């Protein structure tokens, strides 16, 4: 039997490629990649600037949103400031009304005073012009005129006082209302504080009572517990004594049994030794 021929012909790959011929290009070559169209430096700069600026649509959207926010902020400011201005205007109107009322009353009082002065001047002039027929009539008329003048003065003074008091009440009305509101708030606060104090006092009283009750219960329980503990101690001591007595008796019994066993073993050992000696003696004799 000869060896099997496993040899294979060697083919040079370079020679085989040359024999095949040039390969058809299925895609772009390296030269095509290197000779591709490229943008100029100016075009690159334009693209970079566009990226930095961002999109126009986004910028327009941001501007619109900023305008809306500004309008809303302006409205809110106007509302807040308008509320404060309205309060101030109301106060000013109230003050102006009070001033107008006081001015009107003053004007009325001045007019009345002027009329009264004119009347008095006319009366005086008539008195001087009229002939003094008799001294008695003159004295009576002068006394009556003086009394009338005094009455008129008193009535004028009373009217002035009433008008001044009404003007003061009108001017102090707003202040009185504010004071009444503040007093009401203070009363409400004081009542709430009083209620809180009363609640806290009640809680403290309840806690003190519960503490006292618990302390009294604990003292009674402690006295009862002490008696129970003393009884328990006595019982435990008695039980311990019983256990010790039982353990002693058991030990004594065990000790007796052990002594008996030892005696039996010693007797059996001595009997076996005697048997061995007698057997040995018998064997020697034979």
Please state the pTM of the whole predicted model. Answer: 0.19
- Packing angle, helices 135-285 and 56-129, rounded to 10: 150
Read off the pLDDT of each residue in 243-270 and give the average, rounded to a whole number. 76
At residue 233, the pLDDT reads: 83
Read off the pLDDT of each residue in 189-211 and give the average, rounded to a whole number. 86
At residue 41, the pLDDT reads: 94
At residue 223, the pLDDT reads: 55
Q: List CB contacts of 91: < 8 A, sequence separation 6 or more.
A: 174
At residue 50, the pLDDT reads: 81
Q: What are the structure tokens assigned to 235, written together? A: 């019982």
At residue 224, the pLDDT reads: 59
**Low-confidence winner among 9-23, 61-75, 184-198, 251-265 (lowest mean pLDDT):** 251-265
Read off the pLDDT of each residue in 204-231 and give the average, rounded to a whole number. 72
How many Å apart are CA 181 and CA 171, to the nearest integer? 17
At residue 38, the pLDDT reads: 92
Q: What are the structure tokens assigned to 130, written together? A: 């009229």
Give which of 111, 112, 101, 108 is closest to 167, Cα–Cα: 101
**C-alpha distances out from residue 42 to 39, 49, 54, 55, Å:** 8, 11, 19, 20
Percent of the chain scoring above 90 in pLDDT = 8
Q: pLDDT (tens digit, 9 = 90+) per residue, 45-94?
A: 998 888 877 667 777 888 889 999 999 998 888 888 877 777 778 888 88
Other C-beta atoms closer than 10 Å to the C-beta of 216 total: 10
On whether the CB atoms of residues 101 and 167 are closer than 8 A, the answer is: yes
Read off the pLDDT of each residue in 247-269 and give the average, rounded to a whole number. 74
How many Å apart are CA 80 and CA 84, to the nearest integer? 7
Q: pLDDT (tens digit, 9 = 90+) per residue, 163-174?
A: 877 777 766 666
Q: Which helix (H) or strand (E) holds 86?
A: helix 56-129
At residue 49, the pLDDT reads: 86
Enter the DSSP assignment of 3.
Answer: P
Q: pLDDT (tens digit, 9 = 90+) per residue, 115-165?
A: 888 888 887 777 766 655 555 555 555 566 677 778 888 888 888 888 877
Mean pLDDT of the chain: 78
How many Å apart are CA 124 and CA 62, to the nearest integer? 90
Between these two residues, 72 and 211, which has the higher pLDDT value? 72
């Amino acid at each position: 039997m000869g060896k099997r021929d496993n040899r294979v012909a060697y083919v040079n790959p370079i020679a085989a490629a040359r024999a095949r011929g040039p390969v058809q290009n299925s895609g772009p070559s390296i030269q095509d990649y290197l000779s591709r169209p490229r943008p100029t430096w100016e075009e690159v700069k334009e693209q970079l600037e566009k990226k930095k600026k961002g999109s126009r649509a986004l910028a327009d959207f941001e501007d619109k949103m900023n305008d809306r926010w500004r309008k809303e902020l302006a409205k809110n400011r106007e509302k807040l400031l308008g509320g404060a201005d309205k309060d101030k205007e109301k106060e000013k109107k109230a003050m102006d009304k009070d001033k107008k009322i006081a001015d009107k009353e003053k004007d009325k009082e001045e007019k009345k005073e002027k009329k009264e002065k004119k009347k008095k001047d006319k009366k005086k002039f008539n008195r001087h012009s009229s002939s003094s027929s008799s001294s008695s009539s003159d004295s009576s008329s002068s006394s009556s005129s003086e009394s009338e003048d005094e009455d008129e003065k008193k009535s004028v003074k009373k009217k002035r006082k009433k008008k001044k008091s009404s003007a003061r009440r009108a001017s102090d009305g707003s202040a009185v209302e504010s004071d009444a509101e503040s007093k009401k708030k203070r009363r409400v606060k004081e009542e709430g504080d009083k209620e809180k104090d009363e609640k806290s006092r009640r809680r403290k009283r309840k806690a003190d009572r519960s503490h006292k009750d618990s302390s009294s219960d604990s003292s009674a329980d402690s006295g009862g517990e002490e008696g129970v503990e003393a009884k328990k101690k006595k019982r435990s001591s008695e039980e311990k004594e019983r256990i010790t007595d039982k353990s002693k008796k058991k030990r004594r019994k065990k000790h007796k049994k052990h002594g008996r066993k030892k005696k039996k073993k010693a007797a059996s050992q001595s009997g076996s030794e005697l048997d061995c000696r007698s057997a040995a003696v018998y064997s020697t004799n034979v």
